[in-house]
Chains A and B, each alone.
Chain A
């Protein structure tokens, strides 16, 4: 069936380290989004990236649609980067319905 898989499930970093989070999806996608869920539970839109590469400050994302994966890069991590990172994909079928991965839980220590 349609699946979105994220790795690693958990990640612990020292402040200043870099990291790469991966999202694999089982079929071609119309929409791919990355979110950060902060410790207060809010979902923050990071990237809308069905294909290509985007950068926003210390964060960047790349989606290779033909190979069915997306990567989120976090450089020079800060304690405020802690939380859970979700990718979510909309597969063909319309209506922009998102299927979420289980998330990567990131803890950045000072």
Chain B
């Protein structure tokens, strides 16, 4: 069974700081990796999707990278804001034919 790990489970940073969220996966046959944001009491919102043939994707202040050889993906958030506070989940799709989700990193950006 494929596994996706996100460490740390929670992270607090002061406003304005650049930060990196980590995602590790065991699937060597990954097809793509998605990063999601979840606000309390809400569903997940897709932020970025990286295909296995890509190394990174960017959207505004967000940049996601994918390193298949090391089984790692990172989500870089530039100039963090209090509105970025949420839980961030990664999910990989590969040999399991369905998305395998990590447990998420709860981010708090302090004003």
Asked if A pairs with B, the answer is: no
Chain B contact residues, CB within 8 Å of chain A: none
Chain A contact residues, CB within 8 Å of chain B: none
